[in-house]
Homo-oligomer: A and B are copies of this chain.
Amino acid sequence: MSVEFLWGERAVPTRGPKPALSLEAIADAAVAVADAEGLAAVSMQRVAADLGFTKMSLYRYLPGKAELVALMVEQAIGEPPELRAGGWREALTEWSELLFAAYLRHPWAVGATVGSRPLGPRELGWMECALAGLGLDSRLTGAERLDVVAVLAGHARMLVQQAEAQLNEVQMMAAVGEVMRRHGERFPYLAAAMTETAVQGGQNQAFAFGLNRILDGLESLISRRC
């Protein structure tokens, strides 16, 4: 993956036939496939076929599949939001919820953003947005501010991944429940926690709980630094 591809503005050619496709159209088609059938279903052939072209035509627009995935991620997370005014806690809460919602709309994006890869402008824009919400006047060092953003983003990604895995509590119970019925005695604490857990809020509640714990911890650190 070349960094220039995501960041450099591409010169639009004058000569030759007009391109029938565009990077946006290709990314849209690929995102639609991934939304419907998962990232594994995204292939050059499939995306090209959905657009009514042969797969090789895509290589006129993209160097390869890695670039397509990078473009899909940028398309999926969208432009960084404009946060409502407020204190750092309100800002980070809103930011985390919006990021969580964006990942929920495109759960495959979590799996597409692991490992070493260049960050696109939108992804960096989301980071910038959170750092702006945190402000400069807090008693945190630069490294700590970056860490806070990483923890919050990790929390959102984590719960999207869980939400993708179980879709609903019913499926979760079917998957783990079967195992627990047979080997439950090996996991007494897990069994206790699960039987005690009524089918309730689900992932949204789990997300909110974790988010509030993280922010509580941040608040206690900041007030200690006063």
Residues of A within 8 A of B (CB): 3, 7, 38, 110-111, 114-119, 121, 124-125, 127-128, 131-132, 134, 136, 141-148, 150-151, 153-155, 157-159, 161-162, 164-167, 175-176, 178-179, 182-183, 186-190, 192-198, 200, 205-206, 209-210, 212-218, 220-221
Contacts and interface: CB of A to CB of B under 8 A. Distances in A.
Contact of A179 (B119, B157, B213, B217): B119
B200 A3 contact: no
Contacts of A162: 150
Contact of A210 (B132, B147, B175): B147
Say what secondary structure dominates the interface of chain A.
helix
Contacts of A210: 147-148, 150-151, 154
Contact of A121 (B115, B132, B159, B183): B183
6 contacts: A124-B179, A142-B194, A143-B205, A148-B210, A150-B210, A216-B216
